[in-house]
Structure 1
Amino acid sequence: MGSQQPFESTEKSARSSSSQDSSVGRTPFPTMASQQQSTGPVAQPPKGLFLALLAFRLINSLAVQTYFNPDEFWQGPEVAHRMVFGYGYLTWEWQPEWAARSFLHPMLFAAGYQLLALLRFDTPWLVRHSPRFIQASIASVADLRLYVLTQRLFPSNPSAAAWALACNLCCWFLFFCATRTFSNSLEASLAVIALSFWPWRRLQRVLQGGREGGAQGRGQEKQEEDGSVTHSGSNIVTNPGANRPLALALAAAACMVRPTSTPFWLPLGLHELLLLLVGGTLKGGKKSRGGWEWLWLLVLEVLPIGVTAVAISVAIDSWQYGRPMVFTPLNLLHFNIHLKGSSLYGSNPWHWYWSQGLIAMHASFFPLACLGLLWCSSFQSSSSSYNAPRYKNTRWLQNTLQHMQQCLIWCSVRLPFLLALWLPLFYSFSDHKEHRFILLSLPLLNTYTGLALSLLQSWLTTTNPASNNHNTTVDSNPLTFSQPKTSNSSRTPNPSQTPSSTQTSNSTPECNPSHSNPGSQAWRAFLAPFLRPWSPLFRVLLLAAFLPHLLAALYLSTTHQRGAVAVMPFLSREINEILQKRTMISGALGTDSVNSGSSGIDTLNRGRIEGQGADTIGGGEGLQRQMRRGARKGENGSLFLRRLKKGRGVEVLFLMPCHSTPFHSHIHDLAARLTMLSCAPTITSHPNGSITVSRETEFEDMLSDPHAFLAARYSLHPSTRGCALAATDGCKPAYKGDTAQAAKEAAPSVCEAESNRGGMCLEQKQVDHGVGERELPDLVVAFDTEENLLLPFLECAGYKEVARFFHAHFPVDRELQGHVLVYRKHLVLW
């Protein structure tokens, strides 16, 4: 397949050719035009490559064990968990009065949850990981299509696609973020898939003798042998595999999932529209359909696809929010732009994406991507000439349109790089900035990084004398070099074999085993850039480029901020253990009850599990006997208690900044009553008619006075201030037992201590609670930064530390939160 050639005059071609002739003896420089041109179709990805990529991304999803941003859990899996299983926390964005988020993204994970529920495979582990498995599958498709996209952008350099894929898999931020359940991750994957189907334009190769291949007459579109389409009356060729309606449909889906993705597609659509408009005008002819292609694009493709996407989004969101005509992008725009609510979540300087964002994300790959962009100028080959069509317009208009078309085609191969820079430029106008907002820029930059690595590999191999002795052939012109020739067979060619005999043996299908196995031939071509000999300088280059990404991916995906995620499976086990101990206590109380003439159900009802009836449990049998019967059936105590739907569960209180951990989607237990500190924004209307939005968090209120904050939430002794003072003077819980016998003997006051003022430190009623009273939680989770503030009260209330999880070595957006702590009440009763 021919390389892209720009519009040039014949005189300019002659000057360029003479310049090349006078440059004999210079050091070879990597250019696309100087490489061996591919004349066949673009190679398809080897069979099985997708399965390999899928396996890699699934392992990637399991390897990422750290916390990054709340939206990963709270804007996708948590909402989907509520949609399918009926319980889960909805943040303020999902309340009908705000309706700032679309349900399209959570429905993707809800489908996976629903499948697990139907198959009865909804175990906590699968519920916890299935959303990431879904996103990993989509990311693997995007990886495959990135390989195809790079092939279509640089068809004359087949090894660029393999290097681009390697960069995409090893890029630390993509490894860190691509399989997370962000809407940004889905947006980036859909965009890459869409771009791989986009009709990228190029100029076709000029054949020997000055004859231009392709369609020459008007009204013709010739299908080339490589699958490309040559447009009538010009040198413009659409690369093979283009499917513009499919690309537009995927782009519309990305915009509905994340409305802020719309600006990304505007320059690309404008470029295509101008190219069709200018190209149609140059073709001329009133009956030529080419002059109206821009109109067909708008009326027959953009408009129907856009209207359909908006209609689907409005229908789904109106159904879920329970009110008509809900268009979430407008609500989100109102909050972020009109109310300036995005600034509540942090503000950054205008240059943040350029000084800390994109450079940090792409790291050592970014200089190579810039080199790849510079070397795209090699598409301006000196051997090309532009066979201008016959014009019916005036001369000045002809020249203007011709130069416009030349500029648009010149931009085509550089457009992905320009889009990658346009995205952070657009987001720089917003005060609130995050790395994940420009996630889409990384795959696009990786295509040019792959091109640079491919050219550098060929250049360094050509200029290295040691490598030349192996399998690299150099043309007589020092500025021209060919790709290293590799044998199609699996055996190493005989060094004594002459070039002519090698060519003969490779051109004979009967003697070439690769012809009998196209799959192995495709894999051999795919792996050729990695298996051929590398020069020492190129190895150093690879080490400098890939090592920082590998180290960053390993540390940030497995170590940094891992405590917030690692604590959730532990809490799930603690909840089961607490329920089992409660079952033991209820069984002991139930046995005594039966002996005294009452059933175990009476005791169970006094234990705050009500509404089931004696016949539900088994005609007045003791709970302990029912537990034994359930055990024989393979049921444990916690499962038995969870079937008592109106029973009191295990309460877990997160005394940490809001959304610091996952929630119900990572525990998946009806017995878990999870409580966190709220941080919803508040809208204030002023007398002058202005509206402001503010955000006051309960975490800040808790830090100002933890005891008063908890006293307002839970049933504590009236002398709450005295308890806080007593806690500092060594308040000790009077009871530390954990067995059923100790529960019977325990005094009504769980924690007793005399303070300087006298009186109780903390009083908890064991069984009989009045309406509206609420016991202290069974488990408390907090960061170690609040340990000194909370510990006196927690010790006084009868809590002890049961687990400590490492979280981070250095602070992120507040003071260092080194560990996540879990406290548990000594006595866990009803």
Structure 2
Amino acid sequence: MKPRDSFRHASMGFVQRHLFASLLALRLANVALVQTYIHPDETWQSLEVAHRTVFSYGFVTWEWQHALRGFAHPMLFAAVYAVLQALRLDDTFLLTAPYVLVALIAATADYATFHFAKRVAGSQVANWAVLCSAVSWSMGSGVVRPLVNSAETALTAAAFVYWPWDRAIPNFSLLVALVFAAFSCVIRPTSAALWLCAGLVLLFTQPRSHCIARTLYIVKCTLMVGIPAIASMLVIDRLGYKRWVFPPYQFYLFNVHEGLATWFGESPPLYHLYVSMPILFTSMLPFVLHGAYIAIARGYATAQPAVVAVAAMFVFSLVGHMEYRFLYPLLPIGFMYAAVSINSLVGTLPSLETGRRSSRDATAGAKPKRWRLWSVRNIVVYLLVTNVPASLYFNLVHQRGVVDVMAYLRSEAQDRLVEDIGFLMPCHSTPYYSHLHQPIPMWFLSCEPPLEKSELATHYCEADDFELDPVGFMHRVFDNSKSSVYGALDVVNLRYKPGQTRRKPSHLVFYECMAKRIHSELTLLGYSECARFFNTHFNGDARRKGDVVVYCRPLTAAK
């Protein structure tokens, strides 16, 4: 064996023995690079709720006021905050410790993807699958954020490892898969749509002999796992809300029965097909499609994951509001099929496991020479070049100003240079108390949706009111008196009604595009620019263009 080949085999063997540790190290480095803010839910539906739960001050959005969300996911981060509080380390840089948990979640998704691909397509395909997962920009810039979709993805990938994709149903395997599936539904109840599709595919693919007995067994296992899962969800939400609630029902009433999800934007029916899939897989999408085709046509891997993915994507497309991150749980399936394609094109990688190759590997490796259009090196370079720069840009550059401004305000608040803060921006433009971590009053322009469909046409949106006439809005809302409307520090219940006056805060934050419209008025009110932060090179929302600007007043004038 050549020295270079010996080194490669030795290094691959080391990676296999320490695969999870290697992936965790990768994701820890990955989250350390996250300096930006892409999805409001990455803080408002996780860290903000956890911060309020542990530190007793903060802000929770309207969903939590009306019990549309479950506490299972925020409780994971609340546990981290609780440890920091107990050790009195919450006022240090360790306030970012929840991202260590995020790294663990992302590494688990990578690791489970490897074993899922190994089970259904062999170890050679698994090598490529974990590479696709490790370098994917969706994983490196999306799943490495404290989104509920990230935890859902890791649990779903773990369930895929044990799911009976073939007709044989080992007792232990199915039960373990259902446990992970149940956890994913507790974390995010809409995950039930994916598992409903997987369950139906499993039932329809059972052999005719003993079909009734097998069906009854599957139903029995589902009930054995499902009932305790629902009970645990009820208990967790009872602890979080301090009352008995059932968020999935409230979620159904708002999003399905009343159809109010479209308040946040209405998506075309094929959104997931021509927007979500290209965004999620980018340069890997041709491999995903080709891999699914040859897996089905040539029997390199089971077709069931592809059927489940298509069925789930169809179900997720039935709602009016869609986002590409809703399909994060389908990433492991896509990576597996992309790996099938790549392995068929370039031949085999040195196996990560010692010992002889499986029969699937031997079959996959024996490909006609005409398919060997790419070398291993070229494929690896292609995947790296088309994914890693995108991850770095979206982690380090795109929309970093809205994070930098919170670090600035926290530093100023620690030096007692901030009394209160107002955000004249589209709602949820920045992180909030989870990043400021100071019990000072803050407010932002609200955009809470109506709770009944009949109110859609007349419902007041403060953010839109400000956008239409910012100067007039400030005249109406800012009170010239010295009295404060904040009251005690129970800021979680702070809710301004239309037309209610507010004291002019010591600091105002807004985008550069708005600064041009309100600069003169702010000067008359005694404000001047005190900080500015680059945010992004592009933004599809005209209201969020330009730098993030901070205007402030002397504290003696603000009192």
1:122 aligns with 2:90: yes
Paired residues of 1:421 and 1:441 also in contact (CA < 8 A) = no
Alignment partner, residue 434 of structure 2: 665
> How far does the alpha carbon of each residue in 1:209-258 deviate from its partner, in whole angstroms, 9 at most, with x for none?
xxxxxxxxxxxxxxxxxxxxxxxxxxx6669x962112111111211222
In the TM superposition, residue 54 of structure 1 has moved relative to its aligned partner by: 0.8
Structure 1 match to 2:189: 259
Give SS of 1:821's match: strand
Q: Which SS does the other structure have where 1:656 is aligned?
A: coil
1: CA distance between counterparts of 2:159 and 2:480? Answer: 59
* Distance in 2, Cα, partners of 1:786 & 1:338: 37
Q: Deviation of residue 277 (structure 1)?
A: 5.9
Match of 1:500 in 2: none
Count of residue pairs the alignment pairs up:
519
* 2:61 maps to 1:91: yes
CA distance in 2: counterparts of 1:716 and 1:162, whole angstroms: 66
Q: Is the 8 A contact 1:277 1:294 kept in 2?
A: no
Shift of 1:418: 2.6
Q: What's the CA shift for 1:710? A: 3.2
Cα drift, residue 813 of structure 1: 3.3
Partner SS for 1:823: strand
Cα–Cα, structure 1 residues 371 and 792, in superposed 2: closer, same or farther, change >3 Å?
same
What does the per-residue CA deviation read over 1:718-751, in whole Å, with 9 as the maximum and x for residues that have no partner? xxxxxxxxxxxxxxxxxxxxxxxxxxxxxxxxxx
Q: Which residue of 2 aligns with 1:331?
A: 250
Change (3 A) 1:279 1:77: farther
SS at match of 1:316: helix
SS at match of 1:433: coil
Residue by residue over 1:34-85, the C-alpha shift from the partner in whole angstroms, topping out at 9 and shown as x without a partner, is: xxxxxxxxx9982221111111111111212221121111111101111100
User: Where in structure 2 are the equivalents of 1:357-506 lying within 5 Å?
Assistant: 357-377=276-296, 413-458=302-347
1:729 aligned partner: none
Contact 1:653 1:674 in 2 (8 A): yes
CA distance in structure 2 between the partners assigned to 1:441 and 1:678 by the alignment:
33
Aligned counterpart, 1:676: 444
Q: CA deviation at 1:135?
A: 1.9
Give the direction of change, closer, same or farther, for the CA distance of 1:279–1:191 in structure 2 (3 Å limit). Answer: farther
Q: Distance in 1 between matches of 2:73 and 2:349?
A: 46
Any residues of structure 2 matched to 1:595-606 within 5 Å, and which?
none
Q: In the alignment, is the contact (CA less than 8 A) between 1:808 and 1:816 conserved in 2?
A: no
Q: What per-residue deviation string (whole Å, max 9, x for no partner) do you get for residues 161-213 of structure 1?
A: 11111111111112111111111111111100111121232xxxxxxxxxxxx
Secondary structure, in 3 states, of the residue corresponding to 1:565? helix
1:44 and 1:152 map into 2 onto residues whose CA distance is 21
**Counterpart code for 1:803:** A
Q: 1:344 to 1:45 in 2, by over 3 A?
A: same
CA shift, 1:279, in A, is 4.1
Query: Which whole-Å CA distance do the structure 2 matches of 1:359 and 1:380 have between them?
Result: 26
8 Å contact kept, 1:57–1:179: yes
1:37-52 superposed matches below 5 A: 46-52=16-22
Q: Partner letter of residue 101 of structure 1?
A: R
Which of 319, 331, 344 lines up with 2:263 in the alignment? 344
SS in 2 for 1:822: strand
Q: 1:132 pairs with 99, 108, 120, which one? A: 99
Instruction: Say which SS state the counterpart of residue 415 (structure 2) adopts.
Output: helix
Alignment check: 8 A CA contact 2:254 2:451 kept: no
Per the alignment, residue 400 of structure 2 pairs with: 562
Structure 2 Cα separation of the partners of residues 347 and 694 of structure 1: 18
1:296 aligns with 2:217: yes
Aligned with residue 40 of structure 2, among 70, 81, 96: 70
State the partner residue of 2:361: none
> Counterpart of 1:779?
507
Q: Percent identity?
A: 33
In structure 2, the CA distance between the partners of 1:75 and 1:765, relative to structure 1 (3 Å rule), is closer
Residues 260 and 451 of structure 2 are in contact (CA less than 8 Å); yes or no, is this contact kept in structure 1?
no
Tell me the residue number matched to 1:710. Answer: 474
Deviations 1:313-351 (A, max 9, x none): 122223433333x11101101001111110000012112
User: Pairwise mapping of residues 308-323 of structure 1 onto structure 2 (< 5 A)?
Assistant: 308-323=228-243
The answer to whether 1:80 aligns with 2:50 is yes
**Larger helix proportion of the pair:** 2
> Normalized against structure 2, the TM-score is what?
0.85
In the alignment, the residues of structure 2 paired with residue 358 and residue 823 of structure 1 have an alpha-carbon distance, to the nearest angstrom, of: 41
Structure 2 CA distance for aligned equivalents of residues 258 and 457 of structure 1: 38
Deviation at 1:439, TM superposition (A): 1.2
1:744-783 alignment to 2 at 5 Å?
775-783=503-511
1:776 to partner: Cα distance: 2.0
- Which of 113, 119, 127 is 1:146 aligned to? 113
Contact 1:810 1:816 in 2 (8 A): no
CA distance in 2, matches of 1:132, 1:805: 23
Aligned-pair distance for 1:117?
1.0
2:389 corresponds to which residue? Answer: 551
> Contact conserved, 1:344 with 1:694, CA < 8 A, in 2?
no
Flag the 1:190–1:84 CA change in 2: closer, same or farther, 3 A: same
CA contact (8 A) 2:125 2:343 kept: yes
Contact 1:61–1:179 under 8 Å retained in 2: yes
Following the alignment from structure 1 to structure 2, what is the Cα–Cα distance between the partners of residues 99 and 713?
30
Contact 2:15 2:22 in 1 (8 A): no
Deviations 1:441-470 (Å, cap 9, x if unpaired)?
222111111122222222xxxxxxxxxxxx
Change (3 A) 1:820 1:295: same
Q: Is the 8 A contact 1:339 1:691 kept in 2?
A: no
Which fold has the larger relative contact order, with Cα–Cα distance below 8 Å and residues 6 or more apart in sequence? Answer: 2
Cα deviation digits, residues 534-563 of structure 1 (max 9, x gap): x89424444444422222212222111111
The one-letter amino acid paired with 2:219 is L
- Given that 1:341 and 1:693 are in contact with CA atoms closer than 8 Å, whether structure 2 keeps it comes out as no
CA contact (8 A) 2:136 2:387 kept: yes
* 1:353–1:415 distance in 2 versus 1, CA, 3 Å: same
* Separation of aligned partners in 1, 2:18 and 2:350: 25
Relative to 1, partners in 2 of residues 1:143 and 1:815: Cα closer, same or farther, differing over 3 Å?
same
Per the alignment, residue 532 of structure 2 pairs with 804
Q: Distance in 2 between matches of 1:521 and 1:103?
A: 43
**1:173 aligned partner:** 138
Amino acid at match of 1:354: L
Larger radius of gyration: 1
Measured at CA, do residues 684 and 430 of structure 1 come closer, stay the same or move farther in structure 2, by a change above 3 Å? closer
In structure 2, what is the Cα distance between the partners aligned to 1:372 and 1:695? 48
Which of the residues 159, 168, 182 maps onto 1:194? Answer: 159
1:343-371: per-residue Cα shift (whole Å, max 9, x none)? 00001211222222212321111111222
* 2:426–2:543 Cα contact (<8 Å) kept: no
Alignment of 1:8-19 (within 5 A): none
How far apart are the structure 1 equivalents of 2:442 and 2:341? 51
Structure 1 contact 682–694 (Cα < 8 Å) conserved: no
Q: 2:149 and 2:353 mapped to 1: Cα distance?
A: 36
> Aligned in 2, Cα 1:684/1:50: closer, same or farther, shift over 3 Å?
closer
Contact 1:124 1:667 in 2 (8 A): no
Query: Which of 141, 144, 147 matches 1:182?
Result: 147
Conserved? CA contact 2:296–2:303, under 8 Å: no
Please give the alpha-carbon distance, in whole angstroms, between the structure 2 residues aligned to 1:683 and 1:438. Answer: 26
Structure 1 residues 470-526: Cα deviation after superposition (integer angstroms, max 9, x where no partner): xxxxxxxxxxxxx6889xxxxxxxxxxxxxxxxxxxxxxxxxxxxxxxx9958x99x
**SS of alignment partner, residue 439 of structure 1:** helix
Measured on the aligned residues, the alpha-carbon RMSD in Å equals: 3.2
* Closer, same or farther: CA 344–695 of 1 in aligned 2, 3 Å: farther
Shift of 1:708: 4.4
Unmatched 5+ residue regions in structure 2?
A: 1-12, 359-363, 365-371, 488-499
Contact 1:198 1:242 in 2 (8 A): no
Give the 3 Å change call, closer, same or farther, for CA 413–667 of structure 1 in structure 2.
same
Matching residue of 1:655: 424
